[in-house]
């Protein structure tokens, strides 16, 4: 919103270049995207055949020209921590170009990781301003107050006084219900952002009983059910016992705050479960590996980074793509799970 306001206020003085680490963490891809956006912004022809060095040189030249024209270029790097992987040539080139007296550029990195700046190499960190803004996630009480503020009707509204009083009274009763607390926990467990809360409330209101005109607890539970990722839950229901074992092992490793783990690490955790609980569910490593590959194919797990593509599959770090709550729920619903 701030950048949009600035662009409206100074349309000829600000240029915004947006990159996302999920899409542009590769340096070649990033420089190409920067060149494309700069060309689009300044109505220049973009060459798809240009090399990475050509695009980098073009970017530096454009920053110099923009500086001379008193135009500021703002680079917004979402998922900033993903740009800090590898050789970090893009970050170095950007920050190094900003050292020029003629350059008028700003790099804004957005990340969920508190230690994102610690991932930077020494040569990059030395050019980093170390100015950080930390946005603390809203507490459950804050989120509930936001919901109350958005859903409660104003007593001075044009609606009948009796209706407003009854509506607010019922809503207050819902907010004090333990079931509502559970809905709120489930909602914020996956995404506690304001935009997600607003989407949720929109669905809640859409489930309102049109005859009575009041919200009920069912409106909130139905809205939550409609927002939960059903395709993932359906995929979990079809898994074999072995595949569920692998997911449980991965979840245990993440609970232990193990930063990096691979198939071999998972197998060690699997063996520790067998030794601890004396289970009869023992599978050969080759069978486990096929189950592991199946989970990758179904996108319930994925590789933790893009590095090591030439490394054997069992040595590549992986991570879960489902939450602990989703896994626990699927285990409860799966009738084939051992007791």
> How would you write the pLDDT of the chain (339 residues) with one tens digit per residue?
677 777 778 877 888 899 998 888 788 888 899 999 999 888 888 888 888 889 888 988 888 888 888 888 889 998 888 888 777 888 888 888 877 767 788 888 888 788 888 888 888 888 888 788 888 778 889 999 999 999 999 988 888 999 999 999 999 999 999 999 999 998 888 778 887 899 899 999 999 998 889 999 999 999 998 887 566 777 787 788 889 999 999 999 988 888 789 999 999 999 888 888 777 778 889 999 999 999 998 888 998 877 767 788 888 999 988 888 788 877 877 766 665
**Domain final residue pick, 228, 244, 278:** 228
- Can you give the pLDDT at residue 102? 73
Same domain, 245 and 320: yes
**Domain of residue 244, CATH code:** 1.10.10.10
Same domain, 170 and 270: no
Is 258 within a domain? yes
Is 135 within a domain? no
Same domain, 99 and 22: yes
> For the chain, how many structural domains are there in total?
3
- Can you give the pLDDT at residue 164? 92
Same domain, 303 and 274: yes
Is 130 within a domain? no
Range of the domain at 281: 233-333
Residue 10 has what DSSP assignment? S
35 strand-pairing partners = none
Same domain, 106 and 208: no
Report the run of H or E that residue 223 belongs to, with start and end: helix 217-227
Same domain, 224 and 242: no
Residues in Cβ contact with 84 at an 8 Å cutoff, skipping those fewer than 6 apart: 91, 116, 119, 120, 124
Is 281 within a domain? yes
Same domain, 99 and 151: no
Is 134 within a domain? no
Same domain, 206 and 247: no
**Domain final residue pick, 211, 228, 245:** 228
Residues in Cβ contact with 211 at an 8 Å cutoff, skipping those fewer than 6 apart: none
Residue 118 has what DSSP assignment? G
Report the run of H or E that residue 19 belongs to, with start and end: strand 14-20
Same domain, 108 and 211: no
**Domain final residue pick, 197, 228, 259:** 228
Is 254 within a domain? yes
Same domain, 82 and 171: no
Is 200 within a domain? yes
22: three-class secondary structure by DSSP:
helix
Is 33 within a domain? yes
Q: What are phi and psi of 130, to 5 degrees?
A: 65, 25
Nearest to 292 by CA among 320, 322, 257, 324: 320
Same domain, 26 and 76: yes
Nearest to 19 by CA among 83, 97, 66, 65: 83
Same domain, 26 and 102: yes
73 strand-pairing partners = 15, 105
């Amino acid at each position: 919103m701030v950048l949009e306001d600035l662009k409206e206020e100074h349309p000829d003085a600000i240029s915004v270049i947006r990159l996302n680490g999920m899409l542009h963490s590769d340096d070649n891809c990033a420089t190409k995207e920067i060149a494309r956006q700069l060309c689009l912004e300044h109505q220049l022809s973009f060459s798809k055949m240009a090399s990475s060095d050509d695009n980098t040189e073009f970017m530096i030249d454009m920053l110099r020209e923009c500086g001379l024209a008193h135009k500021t270029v703002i680079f917004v790097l979402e998922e900033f921590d993903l740009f800090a992987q590898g050789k970090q040539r893009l970050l170095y080139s950007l920050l190094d170009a900003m050292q020029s007296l003629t350059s008028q550029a700003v790099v804004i990195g957005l990340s969920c990781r508190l230690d994102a700046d610690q991932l930077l190499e020494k040569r990059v960190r030395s050019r980093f301003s170390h100015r950080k803004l930390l946005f603390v996630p809203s507490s459950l009480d804050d989120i509930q107050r936001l919901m109350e503020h958005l859903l409660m009707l104003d007593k001075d509204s044009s609606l009948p006084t009796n209706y407003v009083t009854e509506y607010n009274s019922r809503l207050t009763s819902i907010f004090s219900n333990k079931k509502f607390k559970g809905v709120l926990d489930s909602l914020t467990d996956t995404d506690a952002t304001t935009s997600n809360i607003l989407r949720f409330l929109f669905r809640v209101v859409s489930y309102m009983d049109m005859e009575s005109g009041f919200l009920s607890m069912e409106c909130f539970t139905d809205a939550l059910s409609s927002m939960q990722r059903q395709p993932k839950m359906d995929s979990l229901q079809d898994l074999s016992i072995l595949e569920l074992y692998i997911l449980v092992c991965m979840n245990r490793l993440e609970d232990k705050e193990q930063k990096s783990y691979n198939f071999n690490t998972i197998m060690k955790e699997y063996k520790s479960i067998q030794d601890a609980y004396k289970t009869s569910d023992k599978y050969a490593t080759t069978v486990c590996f096929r189950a592991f590959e199946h989970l990758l194919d179904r996108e319930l797990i994925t590789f933790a980074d893009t590095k090591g593509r030439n490394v054997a599959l069992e040595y590549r770090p992986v991570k879960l793509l489902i939450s602990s709550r989703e896994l626990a729920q699927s285990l409860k619903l799966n009738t084939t799970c051992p007791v």
